[in-house]
Amino acid sequence: MSDPRIILASQSPRRADLLRMLGLTFETMPADIDESYHAGEQPAPHAERLARGKAQEIAARERGAIVIGSDTVVIVDDELLGKPRDQAQAVAMLMRLQGREHEVATGIAVAADGILRSGVERVRVRFRPFGEDLAEAYVATGEPMDKAGAYGIQGFGATLVERIEGDYFAVMGLPICRMIGLLESVGLLYDFRGLAMEGDVST
């Protein structure tokens, strides 16, 4: 049986890097969905809803493919922090997060043959204290501008993180362990060489 066709419904280079790290062969195909926040919607369900929407949108167009969708949000004081619109907002976000704890919620979904499975991974992250000069210097690197909460834990932003409680990869944008569980739930098994349909994995 031929290898399953895997599509990552994202243009995030970080998510693609994580799939490549696992040895997966896949395509990237960003989904075109409305990502606006619904009135009264909680941040973690918002992330899961968007992950499901991304996976469903691509699966409806690419019949027979296994589609992975994901969405990450940063939450502080029960408020969702998205991607900063400009450098000033990025600095303001970082100053709001410095010296305290916040939450990262990453929704993950897998769509295959009319089946949709999803979940959300929640992680506690604590930033060390720092001043506005440091925040401005970090923003000047350009790294924060396409990331929820205005930081990336896998880059220069690692120097801001004092500790995390939970899945590091979820903070990067793709909770690997939960994703593998969802893939297994639709009949795909991971055997360290890639993915195969259940029953085709060598033992």
Give the model confidence (pLDDT) of 37-52 as tens digits: 888 889 999 999 999 9
Residue 203 belongs to some domain of the structure: no
Please state the φ and ψ torsions of residue 192, each to the nearest 5 degrees.
75, 0
Residue that wins the pLDDT comparison between 167 and 191: 167
Query: Is the pLDDT at 202 greater than 50, yes or no?
Result: no
Residue 202 belongs to some domain of the structure: no
Residue 145 belongs to some domain of the structure: yes
Give the model confidence (pLDDT) of 117-155 as tens digits: 999 999 999 999 999 999 999 999 999 998 999 999 999
Give the residue carrying structure tokens 């992250």.
125
CA 29 to chain centre: 15
pLDDT at position 199 = 57
Residue 163's domain is classified under what CATH number? 3.90.950.10
Domain ranges, residue 193: 6-197
Contact 6, 66 (CB under 8 A): yes
Contact 33, 72 (CB under 8 A): no
- Residues with a catalytic annotation lie at 71
Tokens coding 104: 């990262």
DSSP assigned state of 201: S
Indicate the number of domains in the chain.
Answer: 1
pLDDT band at residue 200 using 50, 70 and 90 as cut-offs: low
Mean pLDDT (the chain, rounded): 92
Distance in angstroms (rounded) separating the CA atoms of residues 21 and 4:
18
Query: Is the pLDDT at 165 greater than 50, yes or no?
Result: yes
Residue 1 belongs to some domain of the structure: no
Query: Is the pLDDT at 167 greater than 50, yes or no?
Result: yes
pLDDT at position 71 = 94
Give the model confidence (pLDDT) of 67-104 as tens digits: 999 999 999 998 889 889 999 999 999 999 999 999 99
Distance in angstroms (rounded) separating the CA atoms of residues 44 and 74:
9
Distance in angstroms (rounded) separating the CA atoms of residues 190 and 171:
22
DSSP assigned state of 143: G
Taking CA 48 as the corner, what is the angle to CA 36 and CA 193, rounded to the nearest 5 degrees?
125
Give the model confidence (pLDDT) of 11-40 as tens digits: 889 999 999 999 999 999 999 898 888 888
Residue 94 belongs to some domain of the structure: yes
pLDDT at position 203 = 39
Residues in contact with 24: Cβ distance below 8 Å, sequence separation at least 6, in sequence order: 6, 194, 195
Distance in angstroms (rounded) separating the CA atoms of residues 128 and 70:
28
Residue closest to 174 by CA, chosen among 4, 26, 2, 5: 26
Contact 121, 108 (CB under 8 A): yes
pLDDT at position 194 = 82
Query: Is the pLDDT at 3 greater than 90, yes or no?
Result: no
Residue 40 belongs to some domain of the structure: yes
